[in-house]
Amino acid sequence: MPNELTPERLSDLRLQERSENTAGLTALRYSAIHVNEYMHYGDGLKTLAKLNQKGGFDCPGCAWPDPDGHRTPMAEYCENGVKAIAEEATKRRATPEFFAEHSIDALGELTDYELGKSGRITHPMHLRPGAQHYTPISWEDAFQIIGRHLNALSSPDEAIFYTSGRASNEAAFLYQLFVRQYGTNNLPDCSNMCHESTGTALSESLGLGKGSVTLQDIHDADLIICVGQNPGTNHPRMLTALEKCKENGGKIIGINPLPEAFLHKFTNPQRPLKIATGGTAISDLFLQVKINEDLALIRAICKMLLDRERATPGSVFDREFIEEYTAGYDAWTTMLDATDAAQCLRKSGINAEEAGRAAELIATSERIVICYAMGLTQHENSVDVIKEMVNLLLCKGSIGKQGAGICPVRGHSNVQGDRTVGVWEILKPAFAESLRKEFNFEPPMEKGHDTVDSIKAMTEGRARVFFALGGNFLSATPDTVYTAEGLRQCSLTVHISTKPNRSHVVHGKEALILPCLGRTEVDQQEEGEQFVSCENSMGVVQMSKGVLNPASEQLRSECAIIAGVARATLGDRSTVNWERMIANYDHIRDAIEATVPGFERYNERVREPGGFYLPNGPRNRQFDTADGKAQFNVSTMQHQDLAAGEYLMMTVRSHDQYNTTIYGMDDRYRGILQERRVVMMNADDMAEAGLKATDLVDLSSEYDGEVREAPLFQVVPYPIPRGNVATYFPEANPLVPITRTARGSNTPISKSVRIRITPRK
Ligand X SMILES: Nc1nc2c(c(=O)[nH]1)N[C@H]1C(S)=C(S)[C@@H](COP(=O)(O)OP(=O)(O)OC[C@H]3O[C@@H](n4cnc5c(=O)[nH]c(N)nc54)[C@H](O)[C@@H]3O)O[C@H]1N2
Closest to ligand X by CB, 476 or 691? 476
Other CB atoms within 10 A of residue 751 CB: 26
Q: How far is the CB of 501 from ligand X (least distance, A)?
A: 3
One-letter amino acid of 649: M
Cα(196)–Cα(742) distance, integer angstroms? 9
Among 411, 518, 539, 617, binds Mo ion (CB under 5 A): 411
Among 194, 242, 341, 560, binds Mo ion (CB under 5 A): 194
User: Can you spell out the DSSP letters for 307-318?
Assistant: HHHHHSTTSSS-
Q: How far is the CB of 702 from Mo ion (least distance, A)?
A: 27
Other CB atoms within 10 A of residue 613 CB: 16
User: Measured at CB, which residue is nearest to Mo ion?
Assistant: 411
Scan residues 292-321 and list those touching ligand X (CB under 6 A).
292, 294
Segment near Mo ion (CB under 5 A); pick from 112-120, 186-194, 275-283, 624-632: 186-194
58: three-class secondary structure by DSSP: coil
Judged by beta carbon distances under 5 to 8 A according to partner kind, the member of ligand X, Mo ion, none in contact with residue 294 is ligand X
Q: How far is the CB of 172 from Mo ion (least distance, A)?
A: 15
Tell me, by CB under 6 A, how many residues bind ligand X. 59
Cα(480)–Cα(477) distance, integer angstroms? 7
Closest to ligand X by CB, 78 or 591? 78
Among 10, 194, 226, 394, binds ligand X (CB under 6 A): 194
Closest to ligand X by CB, 200 or 750? 750
Segment near ligand X (CB under 6 A); pick from 50-58, 159-167, 454-462, 486-494: 159-167
| 3-state percent helix, strand, coil for the chain, nearest multiple of 5 | 40, 20, 40
108: three-class secondary structure by DSSP: helix
Cα(211)–Cα(195) distance, integer angstroms? 11
Residue 618 near Mo ion by CB under 5 A: no
Segment near ligand X (CB under 6 A); pick from 144-152, 225-233, 437-445, 544-552: 225-233
Among 396, 619, 653, 670, binds ligand X (CB under 6 A): 653
Find the angle CA(395)-CA(401)-CA(405) to the nearest 5 degrees.
60
Judged by beta carbon distances under 5 to 8 A according to partner kind, the member of ligand X, Mo ion, none in contact with residue 501 is ligand X
Segment near Mo ion (CB under 5 A); pick from 121-129, 193-201, 213-221, 517-525: 193-201
Residue 63 near Mo ion by CB under 5 A: no
Per-residue DSSP letter, 424: S
Q: How far is the CB of 199 from ligand X (least distance, A)?
A: 13
Judged by beta carbon distances under 5 to 8 A according to partner kind, the member of ligand X, Mo ion, none in contact with residue 375 is ligand X
Scan residues 501-560 and list those touching ligand X (CB under 6 A).
501, 516, 518-519, 558
Scan residues 356-395 and list those touching ligand X (CB under 6 A).
373-375
Judged by beta carbon distances under 5 to 8 A according to partner kind, the member of Mo ion, ligand X, none in contact with residue 164 is ligand X
Cα(141)–Cα(124) distance, integer angstroms? 10
Closest to ligand X by CB, 52 or 434? 52
Closest to Mo ion by CB, 398 or 414? 414
Segment near ligand X (CB under 6 A); pick from 152-160, 252-260, 520-528, 696-704: 252-260
Cα(493)–Cα(497) distance, integer angstroms? 12
358 contact partners, CB below 8 Å, separation of at least 6: 253, 285, 287, 301
Cα(397)–Cα(393) distance, integer angstroms? 6
Closest to ligand X by CB, 153 or 263? 263
702 forms beta bridges with 707
Among 186, 198, 256, 333, binds ligand X (CB under 6 A): 256
Would you say 1 and 655 are in contact if contact means Cβ atoms under 8 Å apart? no
Segment near Mo ion (CB under 5 A); pick from 407-415, 468-476, 521-529, 705-713: 407-415
Closest to Mo ion by CB, 415 or 725? 415
Would you say 228 and 256 are in contact if contact means Cβ atoms under 8 Å apart? yes
Q: How far is the CB of 315 from ligand X (least distance, A)?
A: 28
Give the x-and-dash track for 257-296 against ligand X (CB under 6 A). Answer: xx-x----------------------------x-xx-x--
Cα(161)–Cα(444) distance, integer angstroms? 14
Among 537, 659, 701, 714, binds ligand X (CB under 6 A): 659
| Consecutive H or E run containing 497 | strand 492-497
Longest dimension (CA), the chain: 76
Closest to ligand X by CB, 293 or 318? 293
Segment near ligand X (CB under 6 A); pick from 180-188, 212-220, 299-307, 497-505: 497-505
- In terms of Cα–Cα distance, which of 104, 108, 741, 109 is closest to 479? 741
Torsion, Cα of 546, 551, 555, 558 (10° steps): -40
Residue 472 near ligand X by CB under 6 A: yes
Closest to Mo ion by CB, 194 or 300? 194
Other CB atoms within 10 A of residue 28 CB: 17
Closest to ligand X by CB, 640 or 674? 640
One-letter amino acid of 277: T
Alpha carbon distance, N-terminus to C-terminus of the chain: 22
Q: Where are the beta strands (DSSP E) in 338-404?
A: 368-372
Q: How far is the CB of 318 from ligand X (least distance, A)?
A: 25
Cα(317)–Cα(395) distance, integer angstroms? 5
Parallel/antiparallel/unpaired status of strands 528-530 and 646-652: unpaired
Other CB atoms within 10 A of residue 114 CB: 13
Would you say 652 and 230 are in contact if contact means Cβ atoms under 8 Å apart? yes
Cα(503)–Cα(488) distance, integer angstroms? 10
Cα(617)–Cα(596) distance, integer angstroms? 16
Would you say 265 and 280 are in contact if contact means Cβ atoms under 8 Å apart? yes
Cα(565)–Cα(7) distance, integer angstroms? 44
Q: How far is the CB of 389 from ligand X (least distance, A)?
A: 10
Closest to Mo ion by CB, 411 or 443? 411
Closest to Mo ion by CB, 265 or 419? 419
Cα(349)–Cα(724) distance, integer angstroms? 11
Segment near Mo ion (CB under 5 A); pick from 307-315, 410-418, 568-576, 693-701: 410-418
Closest to Mo ion by CB, 463 or 476? 476
Judged by beta carbon distances under 5 to 8 A according to partner kind, the member of ligand X, Mo ion, none in contact with residue 289 is ligand X
Per-residue DSSP letter, 123: S
Among 660, 682, 714, 745, binds ligand X (CB under 6 A): 660
Closest to ligand X by CB, 657 or 682? 657
Q: How far is the CB of 209 from ligand X (least distance, A)?
A: 15
Would you say 309 and 301 are in contact if contact means Cβ atoms under 8 Å apart? no
Surface-to-core class of residue 669, CB atoms within 10 Å of its CB (0-12 exposed, 13-18 middle, 19+ buried): buried
Cα(301)–Cα(352) distance, integer angstroms? 9
Other CB atoms within 10 A of residue 526 CB: 10
Q: How far is the CB of 330 from ligand X (least distance, A)?
A: 29
Q: How far is the CB of 476 from Mo ion (least distance, A)?
A: 9
Judged by beta carbon distances under 5 to 8 A according to partner kind, the member of ligand X, Mo ion, none in contact with residue 669 is none
Closest to Mo ion by CB, 57 or 658? 658
Which residues in this chain contact ligand X in the complex, by CB under 6 A? 61-62, 80, 164-166, 190, 193-194, 227-230, 233-235, 255-258, 260, 289, 291-292, 294, 373-375, 411-412, 469-473, 476, 496-499, 501, 516, 518-519, 558, 650-653, 657-661, 729, 733, 736, 750-751
Which residues in this chain contact Mo ion in the complex, by CB under 5 A? 194, 411
